[in-house]
Structure 1
């Protein structure tokens, strides 16, 4: 169902790779809600995915750009403004990648060169995007910028590795730049902390299936899907959230407010009972052997 939330608005979307991508879902839903969009991703990612096909479907352009390159971003913003005939209204930063995760390096054995790439791609690129957009005065007043985050920025989750550091930096950048952009241009900057989602990038996280199952059992509303997230992001692009800025907004079915759920406790108790039973059976076998029974 369309509500015309974004009628007349224009935006730039980073990171649409395939239909599993949150950015892909955001792009499709934004157009359904009346917006025009420009898509961007790295040239290599575009070859791996279907970004160009999505652009054709949405009757727009795809501009390849490396978000860690200021030169590429300057060209991207120029082409976006040229396509729209002027300023635009929103940006989605849906970018994240860790070479350490891809190479199986654990957090206590990081390659520091890889770590720098993780931070640059997954967090510092967000600063670069906003700095270039601000210097080029690319966004209309009351525009909105959103980046995707994860609760590992605040809490330790096994297997999320150095991406947790990147998400913590990402959220800090949103607050710091949000103050400047809000004060000067009335532009909002927020991050959305999404449930674990089986995107192409997310699938590289160690034990993602188990993490998703745990979050599903812990969350009273269950995990939020990529489409759920897209719908939430659209509200942040809309005029309905004009006074929301510098926030990290949890979109996780309630997971972030939970300590222990009944479903998770039940599963834990069953597992504990099974282990105790196995321990008692082994102990009895030992005593039988010891006493010659």
Structure 2
């Protein structure tokens, strides 16, 4: 039930592809809670997704942008401020891509050119996004910036490949830029470490279905679905979490603190 937690707030949601994506659910919840938003994704992703349907449903404009392009990002934030009538209050970075994973390359035999692309799309884009926001002064005081991450940044999940390093870099950018944004205008920057989620991107990882089941059994509360991740994002965009910054926040049903659960062994 909506509580108007984001009434009067303005935001930008990166990465909504289809109704299975977390960014899609976040966009829906933000508007339900009273926010006005713009949507963005890479032009190539837009051709394969259904973001236009989401935009129509939420009465939100789409501004295509390659998140690795400073020029595209400058255009995105400038146009968003024009459309929304001022600086934004929140931004979600929900972007990740690995050609090595898509091509089934083993970690011990990665294509390093593809690895550089992975880092640029999945992590460095977060720094680029925040740098553009910083230089354009595009976010209001006490605003909130979020990025979605995964526990492979801290622990080894072999089939997650070099996306693990990408997520570690992403989390470091949140801490480092979080300091600068906090000192200048009290903007907070955090990452949410989400459970394995049945998204279009996630299901492309080798052995994902099996691991999804394992994580669900290991977690006392089970895997956190995209809908509850959207709720968590709303709380972090709201004024109820003004003093939370530079944190990696686990939203995983307890998985991150488990050693072993007898349920996994069928006991």
TM over 0.5: yes
Structure-2 residue corresponding to 1:89 = 89
Structure-1 residue corresponding to 2:162 = 162
Report the Cα offset of residue 97 of structure 1: 0.3
Superposed counterparts of 1:123-138, under 5 Å: 123-138=123-138
Report the Cα offset of residue 200 of structure 1: 1.1
- d(CA) in 1 for partners of 2:76 and 2:111? 31
- d(CA) in 2 for partners of 1:71 and 1:88? 19
Structure-1 residue corresponding to 2:56 = 56
SS of 2:141's equivalent? strand
Q: Deviations over 1:228-250 (max 9, x none)?
A: 10011110000000000000000
Structure-1 residue corresponding to 2:225 = 225
Q: Deviations over 1:139-196 (max 9, x none)?
A: 0000000000000000001200000000000000000000000111100000000000
Report the Cα offset of residue 56 of structure 1: 1.2
- How many residues align? The count is 267
Structure-2 residue corresponding to 1:274 = none
Structure-2 residue corresponding to 1:22 = 22
Gaps of 5+ in 2: none
Superposed structure 1 runs of 4+ greater than 6 Å apart: none
Structure-1 residue corresponding to 2:78 = 78
Q: Deviations over 1:192-236 (max 9, x none)?
A: 000001111111111000110110110000000011100111100
Asked whether 1:205 is paired with 2:213, we answer no
- d(CA) in 2 for partners of 1:12 and 1:90? 7
Superposed counterparts of 1:1-293, under 5 Å: 1-266=1-266
SS of 2:158's equivalent? coil
- d(CA) in 1 for partners of 2:52 and 2:134? 27
- d(CA) in 1 for partners of 2:19 and 2:132? 28
Report the Cα offset of residue 60 of structure 1: 1.4
- d(CA) in 2 for partners of 1:139 and 1:246? 17
Structure with max Cα Rg: 1
Gaps of 5+ in 1: 268-293
SS of 1:244's equivalent? coil
Higher relative contact order (CA 8 A, sep 6+): 2
SS of 1:190's equivalent? strand
Q: Which moved more, 1:202-211 or 1:110-119?
A: 202-211
Report the Cα offset of residue 43 of structure 1: 1.1
State TM-score, norm by structure 1: 0.90
SS of 1:264's equivalent? helix
- d(CA) in 1 for partners of 2:60 and 2:160? 35
- d(CA) in 1 for partners of 2:180 and 2:186? 9
- d(CA) in 1 for partners of 2:44 and 2:121? 14
SS of 2:160's equivalent? coil
Q: Give the superposed CA RMSD.
A: 0.7
Report the Cα offset of residue 90 of structure 1: 0.2
